[in-house]
Chains A and B, each alone.
Chain A
Amino acid sequence: MTESVAAAPVAGRSPLSRLAAVARRLPNAELLVGLAIIVTWTILIAAAPVITKFNPLAQQIALRLQPPSAVHWFGTDQLGRDVFARVLYGGRESLPGAICVVALGFLVGVSLGAVAGYCRGIVDDVVMRLTDMVLAFPLIVLAMAVAAVLGASLMHGIIALAAVWWPPYVRVCRALVLDLSNKEYVVASRAAGRGSASILLRVILPNAVPALLVMAAIDIGRAILSFSILGFLGLGAQPPQPEWGAMVSTGAAVMDDWWVATFPAIPILTLAFAFNLIGDSIRDALDPWVGGRRQ
């Protein structure tokens, strides 16, 4: 008798709220968009030889600075190289490079942070002061210094960025571990007779990692950007190897010919955006309380 609700007047049936209702029913639109962008770029980069017949290194001085056309889809640069081919091949440096930087930073940072947060005391002090020292430098300046000392190359660029990438992970991981150490289920594991190392690795870390993964996913976008900045400054991949940041940098010299700088900027922008979206949805999906769906 009271179950017949459908006929009752309900407030707030605007088109906007309907749209919102539709969006809620989709299986996580953010994740889909993010994944679509990343998959598209990955396929383009991997299948570069099939998609374009141009060699990214082949110079045609006669055809320098051609605007986009049916032959050269993204135009050509100052040396007459096909920008489309260079954007595709350039991803082979930038994307794996960025992922490596984040992975290395994640590993180092999470290990140090976990140990600091779990052991506390003197270990904590030493690790955290070290972290503070690195954090005190502007990130990109320090990376530039490291890259300059090591000498400019792609591998050194990765190492240089990784060397400054870990401190935020230490901070966040330590805070999470400190918090989780006081959780009753961690105390319960201790009471069950689990050893310290096992508690850290098997109980605390699995509960801390999801939040850190979110941070890492968002970070990949940032790493692509930083990688591009190093490239832009000439400290990453070396010419004539194509790299997105370096391409934007050389393109910036000829701003009238907009296509040289704009097209390599598009993958940087869209990938950074996509990884941010994925980071958000990972957090929701991995939260056991939210259960992957918001009410």
Chain B
Amino acid sequence: MTLRPVDDSLLDVRDLQVAVGPERQPRLVVRGVSLLIQAGEIFGLLGESGSGKSMTVQAINGLLPPGARVVGGSVKFNGEELIGASSKRLSQLRGDRIGMVFQDSLTSLNPIMRIGPQVAEPLLLHHKASPRRAQALVIERLRDMGLPDTQAAVRRYAHEFSGGMRQRAAIATALISTPQLLIADEPTTALDVTVQAQILEICRRLNQELGVAILLISHDLGVLSEICTTIGVMYAGRIVETGRAQSLLQNPNHPYTRALVESMPQAGSRERRLRAIGGEPPSPEALPDGCKFHPRCAFVAAKCIGEEPLLAPVGQTRSACWVAQAGGLPPFVATRAVREISQAQQAEPAQARDVLLSATGLRRYFSVPSETLFGRHRYVRAVDGVSLELARGDTLGIVGESGCGKSTLARCLLRLIDLDAGTIAFMGRDITGLAGDELRRIRCHMQPIFQDPYASLNPRRRIADIVAEPLEVNGFDGNEISDRVYEALGLVGLSRSVGERFPHQLSGGQRQRVGIARAIVLRPALIVADEPVSSLDLSIQAQIINLMRELQERFDLALVFISHDLRLVRQLCSRIAVMFLGKVVESGPTEEVCARPRHPYTRALLASVPELGSDREHRTRALLAGDPPSPISPPSGCRFRTRCEFVRDRCIEVVPELAGSGTDHLWACHFPLLADDATIAKAVV
């Protein structure tokens, strides 16, 4: 190990070890983590679920859950040892010198306390500030966070806020006494991309203006690359590579980091396959010998199996890899080289093939209780006049933020919920009014894949039974059922023995494979996948996306892929539809829409997606302010107008219709951005 400067280090963690489980056979979940955060730095800690990143930060601020304990190492904050410090001293530091922001702002804010007093709490506790002064400071801090109408906001409760506003309030609480260090554990994971971009922007600004050092934990390399100055990559309880963000992202020296960088769907490319890492992260109970990454590593050497490597300088970073340390890794060639698929190749199948699914004017409202006792019934306009068309074997991506009605649309298309208006034609016949047996027969040809692989599998049935269910209820006989079940399991890359297990015995990635097996076991013509990878780790996401693409091509499936993640949709789909508050605001061929967005919302979505090495200056300008308006009372005229920077009178009065200029690229905007990419920034002023 090299000597480090001690003077300006704010947080110095050395060889931190955390164990869980019974005292006789403890399992180490953090196995010797060392990291150094300088004052005013933004340190990003990257890791998949189970890598020990959350345990690491919980150990740092003494908030380990019951059963977990520090069994070695030291944590020095401003030179003061925190491991073994009295809980009184830790309480003094927490909230005052060290601020915390958690992932779920709904549970981290006290639901029965008004926002104002809650944000002020650290001030009152640590500085005995007068309530009046505290109040003034709270309002100022909330305003810094970009919270609208702060005077009224301080009197509200957490549930009256949207997710983005809650997270702002949570950050304000963490920063109210101007700490030296802010620890943010997945602060944007639960948020929409446009709101995520706002929160990250706030973090960066606070870092610059207040000089707060930030320890940012995330599983998303894109998020970290946005604002971090230093990045540490955790795998199986250890940091396997660390270095300046720039050099680590451009020239990673650990095979795991390389694989992560490569498995990031790149905005500019539409490769046939994502670079996925095979296998799954090891569980702390069954760690492999030697280097913990070697079973998944493409560069594995004999030494990797026997002995675990330590961090050592390689190139511009420090990497814990025997091969890299011996200079054995090939030079990193960024696979971002855009391998565009020619336009002709893409457009051809869509035109030549017959229409499989066509939906016209779909509408679905949900009634919600009125606010007052005798008030009128109100409606959530979840899907409000959506039309779309899908050819046999084609892929359509539907993108939008939470609450835009994309999941409702998916269920409408599958006829799982009833429509208020509109018609759906599938395989050449109108299925809008079908019911009972007829509906069931047509459903054999259209199958869903769900978002949450934990909730979408019946916890009481074995995997083989779950996959067999569609066959059973559609009257297949026993032998054929088991043949097709095992064939389907094989197709999604699961072994036969998995069939005997229960869902809770599988990992998230395996479960989603089961979900896919169930969807393809009937050999449908159409699959509607609602956020199928959003709850999976990055390396697993890439595997699942590749699997879906493989199966889609192999069986000539038509695919409706619903996601909030524009990167994935771009990767997988030939056509795209952007939804905002129950309406499609722009649709067309993916490359066309992404390269030349005509609707301001599409452009903002594109700009909000965190990417590696993107042009920050350009993006900051296109960020959206505020949160999406409520679907209960959408704005008059164009629904996007309250967030649109180009809004004019006509937008308030007239609802824009989807229209285009001859091609199948359509947009719903009175004043579309100019088609010429270069002029977007100064389009309509």
Contacts and interface: CB of A to CB of B under 8 A. Distances in A.
B440 A195 contact: yes
Interface stretch (B109-117, B443-451, B606-614): B443-451
Contacts of B448: 187-188, 191
B504 A289 contact: yes
Given A5-B19, A21-B22, A191-B447, A185 B455 contact: yes
B504 A291 contact: yes
Nearest to A24: B22
Given A187-B450, A288-B460, A192 B455 contact: no
Given A21-B22, A187-B411, A187-B416, A207 B470 contact: no
A8 B28 CA distance: 12
A8 B23 CA distance: 11
B273 interface: no
Contact of B456 (A184, A190, A206, A288): A184
Contact of A3 (B23, B28, B443, B518): B28
B416 A185 contact: no
A188 B474 contact: no
Contacts of B26: 5-6
A88 B156 CA distance: 63
B71 A192 contact: no
A293 interface: no
Interface in B245-293: none
A198 B473 CA distance: 9
B440 A184 contact: no
A184 B469 CA distance: 14
Interface in B153-181: none
Interface string A191-221: 1111100100001001100000000000000
Given A189-B469, A190-B416, A184 B69 contact: no
Given A2-B17, A5-B28, A195-B473, A188 B450 contact: yes
- Max count, chain A CB within 10 A of own CB: residue among B450, B502, B503: B450
Contacts of B440: 193, 195
A295 interface: yes
B481 interface: no
Nearest to A184: B456
Nearest to B505: A291
A192 B459 CA distance: 17
Nearest to B528: A191
A206 B469 CA distance: 15
Contacts of A288: 459-460, 502-504
Interface string B67-90: 101011000000000000000000
A193 B473 contact: yes
Contacts of A206: 460
Interface in A1-21: 1-3, 5-6, 8, 10-11, 13, 21
Given A10-B23, A291-B504, A192 B72 contact: no
B456 A185 contact: yes
Contacts of B364: none
Say which size band chain A's interface belongs to: 20 to 34
Interface residues of B, number: 44
Interface in B470-489: 470, 473-474
B456 A2 contact: no
B570 interface: no
B32 A184 contact: no
B414 interface: yes
A73 to B, nearest CB: 46
A195 B469 CA distance: 12
Contacts of B473: 189, 192-195, 198
A5 B69 CA distance: 11
A187 B669 CA distance: 36
Given A5-B17, A193-B470, A207 B459 contact: yes
A191 B469 CA distance: 10
Contact of B32 (A2, A190, A194, A289): A2
B457 interface: yes
Nearest to A9: B71
A11 to B, nearest CB: 7
Given A3-B28, A185-B455, A192 B460 contact: no
A2 B411 contact: no
Interface string B476-515: 0000000000000000000000000011100000000001
Interface string A69-91: 00000000000000000000000
Contact of B458 (A193, A203, A295): A203
A192 B17 contact: no
Interface string B296-340: 000000000000100000000000000000000000000000000
Question: Of residues A5, A8, A191, A288, which shows the largest number of chain B Cβ atoms within 10 Å of its Cβ?
Answer: A191
Contacts of A185: 455-459, 466
B28 A192 contact: no
Contact of A183 (B72, B308, B455, B515): B455
A121 to B, nearest CB: 13
A3 to B, nearest CB: 7
B51 to A, nearest CB: 16
A294 B450 CA distance: 29
B459 A184 contact: no
A225 B145 CA distance: 60
Contacts of A193: 440-441, 443-444, 470, 473-474
A187 B530 CA distance: 13
Contacts of A5: 17, 19, 26, 28, 71-72
Contacts of B23: 10, 13, 21
Given A5-B19, A194-B473, A188 B67 contact: no
Contacts of A192: 443, 447, 469-470, 473-474, 518, 522
Contacts of A2: 15, 17, 28, 31-32, 72
Interface in A210-248: none
Interface string A155-195: 00000000000000000000000000001110111111111
Interface in B381-440: 411, 414, 416, 440
Contacts of A289: 459, 504
Nearest to A287: B459
B452 interface: yes
Nearest to A13: B23
Given A191-B414, A193-B444, A295-B67, 6 more contacts: A2-B32, A184-B455, A187-B416, A188-B450, A188-B518, A191-B416
9 contacts: A2-B72, A5-B17, A185-B457, A185-B459, A189-B458, A192-B443, A193-B444, A288-B460, A295-B67
Q: Which 7 A-B pairs have the closest CB atoms?
A: A192-B470, A184-B456, A193-B440, A8-B71, A288-B459, A185-B458, A184-B450
Interface of B: 15, 17, 19, 22-23, 26, 28, 31-32, 67, 69, 71-72, 308, 411, 414, 416, 440-441, 443-444, 446-448, 450-452, 455-460, 466, 469-470, 473-474, 502-504, 515, 518, 522
